[in-house]
Structure 1
Amino acid sequence: MKLADTPITQHQFNDIPFYLKRDDQLHSHFSGNKARKFMALLEQPLEHIDILISYGSVQSNAMYSLSALAAIKGWAFEFYVDHIPQWLAESPKGNYRAALDMGADITAVSELGLHPREFIEQVRQPDQHCLVVPEGGRFQHAEAGIKQLATEILSWTRFENASQFTVALPSGTGTTALYLHKHLSPHGIEVITCPCVGGKAYLEQQFSELGETHFPTILELATKHHFGHLYRQDYLTWYELQQQTNIEFDLLYDPMMWQCLQSWYPENQHKTLIYLHQGGLLGNESMLPRYERKFGLSPE
């Protein structure tokens, strides 16, 4: 399986010209930043492993990518969540549906009064035949695949005439942004991101826990943005992005980053922007109907 060398295409959104690194095109089942994070696990033999275990939200992009990884490796896959909404259990959609189709065993643990991570540690108690991946792939194994991504970006920039490149991407755990910064900043390429889960302080804490001391630039919106809430402006930004580029973006993360970029760009027009498309489109299968019910088929 070739998880490298995705194309870079040229676009414009409103008044912002940008290049788009199309990591959504890595592989039909194993794409985006999660594929980069888990590339090392895919390439290592790990012959002593029989069961892959992780945890997170019931619509986690990582859950689906890990289910694909387990299927490729021939492992069983257990994923632990806080709860599974009744409507979703009755009519699976998005990453939840796709992970089930891949053979994932998804278990809710909220009734036990434990966080999924605590349940794995205290109740499940994995043995030496289990591989436990932290939520969202926030672990040092992720660096190898993201370093490969940085190398691809560097190779492309060497053939372009622009003098100052900036790579932009939204952050959940921030793992991708952190390791891109680590491998691009020595070459004069700035990495900018925004904290989609929590605020700037929370994201910096996530960075620190991975053992790094130099961080990418963090942009924030002027108003509080609660993860997973429905905002008309998010829907409108997502809709306009698709109308202007003919490319579908992720509804959960990308709109916030593009709103930050619209505030950032007027003072940074001399920079050449490279936006990283991190996939995550299966999540739109569940998010889009929620937006349509609240705001209509078109947000305009």
Structure 2
Amino acid sequence: MQIEPICFRGRRFWILRDDLIGGEFNGNKARKLAYFLNSNLANRIISYGSSQSNAMYSISVLAKLRGIKFIYFTHHICDFLLNNPCGNYAAALKNGMDIRISKNPLKSAQNECKSRDIFIPEGVAMSEAEMGFQDQARIIVDFAKKNDIKFDIFLPSGTGCSAAFLAKNLSDMSVWTTPCVGDSHYLKKQILALDPLSKVNIINPPRKYHFGKLYSEIYEIYKELLYSCGVEFELLYDGVGWLTLMANLNAFKNDILYIHQGGMLGNITLLERYKRKFNI
């Protein structure tokens, strides 16, 4: 796995390129689903969440590889996506996902699940996800020792699963995150549910960003990173992540390692939305 330096706005950052994990899986979903790739699966996989979710697509890949049915519940599919399937939604459908609309996706998913089915919560926030982050932690520790670096590690969070399990498996490096879905209280609650002793540091974004809403500054920092560093980041999470990181640089005492969690397939849909909204 590749850890590389970039220079952004005159400062060096290190990037863990989990977006370059090979095959159809990449990013933090490859980490979260590593356990299921190496275990016996039951009849079906049942899950729920957004109709443009990175987790939805990754679970569809898992189900296809293992030859089992995948049923996914979501609250809404917008008219544009229905008429112009693209990104995670289109790819998951191609992989054979059975998507169903529900007023209460969580409850519907739980009711659908039978004794031999696997229930995967939104964002794959579950104890089985830890295995992949044990390997990620080893990669970071080995690189840091080899290069005599101590990192402060930063990554944006939805459920906080990635940050929680990475921090749990690192003893002498701090892990920092910021909420991209909900606020810091919600994120802390989610992290502590996964690891009651978690020491993840949570910092707030420079302003409130409503998940899925379009913001010109998110698109601008996405473009700036792409053109100045040659690295494409994901818009929903990494946009908020980089804006938060740059607004709080004084909080970090060591070299900053940013975890690139992949998920760029979702950018296809988001970039179309940005083009329509801002006429770019």
TM-score (norm 1): 0.90
Match of 2:194 among 210, 234, 244: 210
- Residue 86, structure 1, aligned to residue 79, structure 2: yes
Match of 1:134 among 108, 112, 121: 121
Q: Distance in 1 between matches of 2:122 and 2:17?
A: 24
Q: Which residue pairs with 2:156 in the alignment?
A: 170
Q: Distance in 2 between matches of 1:213 and 1:70?
A: 33
The runs of at least 4 aligned residues of structure 1 exceeding 3 Å deviation read: none
Residues 211-267 of structure 1: per-residue CA shift (max 9 Å, x gap): 422231111123211111111111111110101111110010001111111122245
* Structure 2 unaligned residues grouped into runs of 5+: none
Q: Distance in 2 between matches of 1:212 and 1:144?
A: 18
Q: Distance in 2 between matches of 1:259 and 1:120?
A: 35
2:136 is paired with a residue whose SS is helix
Q: Distance in 2 between matches of 1:171 and 1:197?
A: 7
Match of 1:286 among 249, 269, 272: 269
Q: Which residue pairs with 2:48 in the alignment?
A: 55
Q: Which residue pairs with 2:245 in the alignment?
A: 261
| AA at the equivalent of 1:80 | F
Q: Which residue pairs with 1:3 in the alignment?
A: none
- Residue 35, structure 1, aligned to residue 33, structure 2: no
| AA at the equivalent of 1:252 | L
Q: Distance in 2 between matches of 1:214 and 1:30?
A: 27
2:147 is paired with a residue whose SS is coil
Q: Which residue pairs with 1:118 in the alignment?
A: 107
Among the aligned pairs, what percent are the same residue?
38
Q: Distance in 2 between matches of 1:26 and 1:32?
A: 7
* Structure 1 residue 180 displacement after superposition: 0.8
* Structure 1 residue 84 displacement after superposition: 1.3
Paired positions, count: 280
Mark the CA change 1:271 to 1:296 in structure 2 (over 3 Å): closer, same or farther. farther
Q: Distance in 2 between matches of 1:234 and 1:250?
A: 10
CA-based RMSD: 1.3
* Structure 1 residue 161 displacement after superposition: 2.4
Q: Distance in 1 between matches of 2:90 and 2:179?
A: 27
* Structure 1 residue 271 displacement after superposition: 1.3
